[in-house]
Every structure is written in structure tokens, then in C-alpha cells.
């Protein structure tokens, strides 16, 4: 299980615990002289070990806890318990054995120590607990006696816990929509610059698609529907019909703001809308140069690359079909039939691909001459 712990800018800790249903995770907390310590554990893994003094440096809270008590303490304190009696509690600091902790009553084990030996820097305490059933558990944690020396958390954990994913998802969704729609609009009305190389071919292909009405208006309406229109309409809750949009859900006249809908929208844009546009550009470029679906495979050096492009597009169409099936299974037949962004989009994609390879070859003319990069 990944550890999802982090700290807010003002010092408040964000400590996610793994779920109980699938992973049987639970948390043991202890307050030792007003210092809170905890351990995230898996059910029925024995013995349980929790070091309460010195406290784990990563979870110190200087503004809210009396950390000076650790510097004035006389004993290392450990909570250790198991289904079977505890037989030994071994303690070491920075790899140097300090001895065995002795029971102070209940699950509490203590061992005398001299905090003055560890006043500077970051140190590591290792505890190994054994029980009479032959089982053992080890716990290792960093500690420090300096109030301003607090280790940070990982970048990934902090990003997952502290980022406003709703705002981020909305920004990414708007960006992908603007990229796709803006690209179509820009290349429909801008002049093509004659040059050589891959960028020139890409620009020329985008102009072919943007200036072919069947492609341009279909893709424009499809992307605008993904951004603004309903994704599907159906029975979202038993007995209650509604419509799902990128920005939320309407059910029986009530609006519910979406949480992950923008993320789903970004996935839709990245894995279907934009690849479909790119595939149509690639197909139109081949057709403009006189190739058909069969003949472009015989173009020197292009058979394998063409096959890869077709396979990728086929996989994306299959993924879109799977999304339609999921919609049918989850929300019923009405949602399946009334889904512009899933079911209708799949049909539109198939029609546009068919049109790209069987319809008239796209031609592009500017106001002065026919242009095609060589």
C-alpha cells in the first residue's frame, strides 16, 4: 500500500489510511505527554510496535506540541503487544544497540536513554519486538531533538493529497478543448506556409481536415458537445432521470457539481477526440497524395508504420466501444442511446474514418495556388 501522508503549508498533517474492506488496514494512536504518535498496521500482523518517545520527526508539529519534553525525557517508550506474550524488545539508535526494553505495565516498554547525545541532526531508532509464538516485527523511524529540523514528504504524496484536483481537472479539460477546437478554427482560416519537413506535413494535413466541411463541422460539433453539451441522458438514480455534463450533473431539476467529471473529460479528449482528429489528418494527407486505403500500404517504407497507426486507432475505437458498454451496463438502455459523447461519438468516428478513405480526395487551394508540401 502506498503511504499517502503530507503536510499543509500551515503545518496541519494530512494522513490518509488504507481501506479496511480490501486491505484490512487500521491505525493505532497513542498520546504520550501530549505528543501524538501513530502506526498504520495490517490486521492480524503481530506483534504491533509503536514508538511514542522519541516521536517520529516527520510528524512533529512544533506549533501545537510540547516537543521540548522529548529533550527532557529519561526513557525511550514503546508500545508493543501481540496475541502471544512479548518476549523481547530490542532497541538501537543509529545502528548502536542500547539494550532491551523492560515492561512498565501493560503494553508499555521503556528503556533509559540520554537525550543529550542526540541534540543535533537527524537520528534513526530501530525497534524489534518478538513474541512467544516466534513472530517478530521491526519498526524504524527518524527522530530529531531540533524543533526546526522536520523531514519533508514525497512530492507524489503531497501532489495527490494537497492539490485541488477539481480545479486542476477543469484547467486541463479547458486546455485540451481549446487546443482541439482552436487548432481546427485556426487552420481553417490561416494561410499555409510552404516548407519541407514533418511540421509542414502536419500543418498541411490539419488544413486539409479543417477546410473539408464534412470533417470540420463534425469535429467542431463533437468537441463542443464534449465541452458544453450533455454526455448522456438517462436514469442516473433509480427512478430519477438526469443529464451528465463535464461541469456536473442535473437530476430532477437539481444541480450537483462534478468532482471527477473533468478528469473523465480530459481522458475522453486525450484518448479519443484528439487521436481521431490526428488520424483523420493522417488519412487526408495520404488521400491528397493519391493513395487509397490499399495503396498506401505499398508506399515504400510505410507499410509497418501505417499498420501501427491503424492498430492504434482501432484500439481507441475499441476503448470507446467499451465505454459505451459500461454506460449501458451502469445506467441502462436510455443512457446508451442518448449519449452524444459515447455512443454517438463512436458512430461518428466510424463514419468519419470511412469517409476519409472512401470519399472524395480532399483538396486544398489558397487564393493564389494549390499548395502541398513535398
142, 122 contact by CB (below 8 A): yes
The residue written with cell numbers 512530492 in the block is: 155
∠ at Cα 205 (203, 208), nearest 5°? 110
**Cell numbers at residue 209, please?**
481536415
Tell me what pLDDT residue 290 has.
73
Same domain, 171 and 153: no
Same domain, 155 and 168: no
347 pLDDT higher than 90: yes
Domain boundary among 118, 145, 160: 160
Read off the pTM.
0.71
Instruction: Identify whether 373 is part of a domain.
Output: no
> What distance in Å separates the CA atoms of residue 158 and residue 4, rounded to the nearest whole number?
8
266, 176 contact by CB (below 8 A): yes
Instruction: Identify whether 370 is part of a domain.
Output: no
39, 129 contact by CB (below 8 A): no
59, 86 contact by CB (below 8 A): no
Domain coverage including residue 35: 5-160
Average pLDDT over residues 237-258: 90
> What distance in Å separates the CA atoms of residue 134 and residue 153, rounded to the nearest whole number?
35
> Distance of CA 324 to CAs 52, 178, 334, 338, Å?
53, 25, 12, 11
Same domain, 40 and 180: no
> What distance in Å separates the CA atoms of residue 196 and residue 193, rounded to the nearest whole number?
10
Q: Output 297 or 114, whichever has higher pLDDT.
A: 114
Same domain, 314 and 229: yes
Same domain, 175 and 283: yes
- What single-letter DSSP state applies at residue 273? I
> What distance in Å separates the CA atoms of residue 266 and residue 368, rounded to the nearest whole number?
40
Which residue from 260, 231, 86, 92 is spatially nearest to 164, judged by alpha carbons?
Answer: 260
Tell me what pLDDT residue 371 has.
44
Tell me what pLDDT residue 192 has.
59
Reported in sequence order, the residue ranges of the chain that DSSP labels E, i.e. its strands, are 5-7, 13-15, 25-32, 35-42, 48-53, 75-81, 86-93, 96-100, 102-103, 108-112, 122-131, 136-144, 232-237, 240-245, 248-251, 254-257
Tell me what pLDDT residue 363 has.
65
Domain boundary among 160, 178, 210: 160
Instruction: Identify whether 367 is part of a domain.
Output: no
Instruction: Identify whether 372 is part of a domain.
Output: no
> What distance in Å separates the CA atoms of residue 40 and residue 16, rounded to the nearest whole number?
10
> What distance in Å separates the CA atoms of residue 208 and residue 281, rounded to the nearest whole number?
7
Domain boundary among 160, 194, 220: 160
**pLDDT tens digits for range 163-192:** 888 899 999 999 999 999 999 999 888 775
**Cell numbers at residue 137, please?**
516485527
With cut-offs at 50, 70 and 90, classify the pLDDT of residue 303.
low
Average pLDDT over residues 269-285: 94
Instruction: Identify whether 371 is part of a domain.
Output: no
Amino acid at each position: 500500500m502506498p503511504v499517502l501522508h503530507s503536510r499543509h503549508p500551515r503545518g496541519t498533517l494530512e494522513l490518509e489510511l488504507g481501506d479496511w474492506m480490501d486491505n484490512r488496514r487500521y491505525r493505532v494512536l497513542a498520546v504520550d505527554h501530549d505528543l501524538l504518535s501513530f502506526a498504520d498496521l495490517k490486521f492480524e500482523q503481530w506483534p504491533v510496535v509503536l514508538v511514542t518517545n522519541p516521536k517520529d520527526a516527520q510528524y512533529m508539529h512544533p506549533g501545537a506540541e510540547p516537543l521540548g519534553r522529548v529533550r527532557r525525557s529519561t526513557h525511550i517508550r514503546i508500545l508493543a503487544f501481540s496475541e502471544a506474550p512479548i518476549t523481547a524488545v530490542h532497541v538501537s539508535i543509529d545502528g548502536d544497540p542500547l539494550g532491551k526494553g523492560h515492561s512498565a505495565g501493560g503494553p508499555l516498554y521503556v528503556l533509559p536513554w540520554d537525550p543529550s547525545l542526540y541534540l543535533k541532526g537527524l537520528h534513526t531508532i530501530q525497534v524489534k519486538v518478538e513474541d512467544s509464538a516466534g513472530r517478530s516485527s521491526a519498526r524504524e523511524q527518524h527522530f530529531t531533538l531540533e524543533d526546526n529540523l522536520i523531514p519533508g514528504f514525497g512530492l507524489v504524496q503531497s501532489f495527490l493529497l494537497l492539490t485541488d484536483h477539481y480545479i486542476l481537472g477543469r484547467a486541463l479539460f479547458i486546455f485540451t478543448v481549446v487546443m482541439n477546437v482552436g487548432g481546427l478554427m485556426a487552420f481553417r482560416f490561416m494561410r499555409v506556409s510552404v516548407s519541407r519537413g514533418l511540421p509542414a506535413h502536419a500543418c498541411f494535413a490539419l488544413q486539409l481536415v479543417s477546410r473539408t466541411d464534412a470533417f470540420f463541422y463534425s469535429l467542431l460539433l463533437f468537441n463542443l458537445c464534449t465541452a458544453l453539451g450533455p454526455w448522456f441522458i438517462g436514469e442516473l438514480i433509480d427512478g430519477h432521470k438526469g443529464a451528465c455534463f463535464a461541469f456536473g450533473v442535473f437530476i430532477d431539476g437539481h444541480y450537483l457539481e462534478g468532482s471527477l467529471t473533468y478528469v473523465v473529460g480530459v481522458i475522453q479528449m486525450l484518448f479519443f477526440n484528439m487521436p481521431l482528429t490526428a488520424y483523420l489528418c493522417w488519412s487526408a494527407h495520404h488521400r491528397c497524395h493519391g493513395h487509397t486505403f490499399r495503396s498506401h500500404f505499398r508506399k515504400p517504407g510505410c507499410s509497418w508504420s501505417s499498420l501501427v497507426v491503424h492498430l492504434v486507432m482501432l484500439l481507441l475505437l475499441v476503448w470507446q466501444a467499451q465505454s459505451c458498454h459500461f454506460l449501458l451496463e451502469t445506467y441502462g438502455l436510455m443512457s446508451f442511446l442518448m449519449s452524444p459523447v459515447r455512443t454517438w461519438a463512436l458512430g461518428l468516428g466510424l463514419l468519419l474514418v470511412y469517409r476519409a478513405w472512401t470519399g472524395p480526395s480532399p483538396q486544398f487551394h489558397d487564393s493564389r495556388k494549390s499548395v502541398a508540401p513535398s
